[in-house]
């Protein structure tokens, strides 16, 4: 997310110069971070269940997937998105529009 904020500095400056507030920018980047990490968590759980099913079929082992484990994994993934997305989002929200537009 920190790289995303750095790459999109001019976009942030343009949005702020048109009237977007810092809180709006903060919410945008925080929502993006949470969405990316949650989708990654869901994909990870799906791949994990698929691989577990595949191994269970090949080895003829019983398979059990805990619904609590699935929910905890996705929740933890979203929590990681919040934790590691807050600093870049706050940094983006505190940019001054003039400096952001000059950034290359």
For the segment 75-83, the average pLDDT, to the nearest whole number, is: 92
- Supply the range of the domain harboring residue 30: 2-102
For the segment 60-81, the average pLDDT, to the nearest whole number, is: 92
Q: Report pLDDT digits (tens) over 23-38.
A: 998 898 899 999 999 9
Contact between 16 and 100 under an 8 Å Cβ cutoff? The reply is yes
**φ and ψ at residue 66, rounded to 5 degrees:** -80, 130
Q: Whole-number mean pLDDT of the chain?
A: 89
Q: Report pLDDT digits (tens) over 33-55.
A: 999 999 999 999 999 999 999 99
Number of domains within the chain: 1
Q: What is the pLDDT of residue 95?
A: 84
> What is the spatial distance between Cα 1 and Cα 82, in angstroms, rounded to a whole number?
11
Specify the pTM: 0.79
């Amino acid at each position: 997310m920190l790289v995303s904020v750095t790459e999109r500095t001019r976009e942030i400056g343009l949005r702020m110069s048109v009237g977007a507030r810092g809180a709006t920018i903060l919410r945008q980047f925080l929502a993006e971070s949470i969405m990316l990490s949650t989708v990654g968590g869901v994909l990870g759980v799906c791949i994990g269940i698929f691989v577990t099913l595949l191994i269970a079929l090949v080895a003829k082992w019983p398979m059990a997937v805990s619904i609590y484990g699935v929910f905890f994994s996705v929740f933890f993934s979203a929590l990681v998105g919040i934790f590691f997305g807050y600093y870049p989002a706050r940094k983006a929200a505190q940019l001054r529009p003039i400096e952001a537009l000059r950034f290359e």
